[in-house]
Amino acid sequence: MPRAIAFAIAVLVVAGVVPAGAADVALGLKASTLGFGLDLTGRLAEGLNVRAGLHPGPSYTHTGTGGDIEYEFEIQLLSAAAGLDWHPGGSGFHFSGGLVLNRNEVDASARSTATYKIGDRTYTPAQTGNLLGTLNFKDLAPYAGLGFGNPVAPGKKLGVVLDLGLVFAGSPRVDLSATGPLASDPTFQRDLEAEERELEDSVSQFKLYPLVSFAVTYRF
């Protein structure tokens, strides 16, 4: 249900951001580091466009180490973006800025080993049970970048747009839980909190997320 709600919100963002009075409108099909998706661009004034996009996927898995534990991460991409493109002198080159609605979901599960080092202590899988976690991101994140291509430039129907930039997503917050007999033990809970901080440090590079996209566009 949360993903369906987020997708509906993203549709409303796209429908509401490009005003009915825009002089030209173009639709783009794109692939990016936010996932595959659609862009809708409208020309507000000479050299100034407004753009909104949906990025509903895909999902994939990734294995990485946080602290002393190896995790398998299940990543589901789902986001929307809206912002402005400024084309100096009316050229294809543009500067971009706006906001990303972040509904990406990351679930983590510890890969089974003989023991886990959590905090300053060593535990067995029999004591911890399944060690699970989630990575939570800010709902809204600003982005800035530059690119090439103007999908609503006069005189053409088909075009391409390349964008390069950064999403200032902030460091994700990590929440860990366990299902074993020690799950509610106060000492284990303190060690689990220490493990959360270690995992947050290991994924802190995601606070600046690279944005690279390529779109094929059609102007109506």
- Nearby residues of 131 by Cβ (< 8 Å), 6 or more positions away: 69, 109, 110, 116, 176, 177, 178
Question: What's the chain's average pLDDT?
Answer: 85
User: Per-domain residue ranges for the chain?
Assistant: 2-107+136-170+208-219
Residue 25: strand pairing partners: 42
Give the tens place of pLDDT for each residue, 189-217: 999 999 888 888 877 777 888 999 999 99
Residue-level pLDDT at 4: 42
The pTM assigned to this predicted structure is 0.77
Lowest mean pLDDT segment, chosen from 41-45, 89-93, 188-192, 205-209: 205-209
Q: What's the topology of domain 2-107+136-170+208-219?
A: Porin (2.40.160)
Separation CA 40–CA 50 (nearest Å): 8
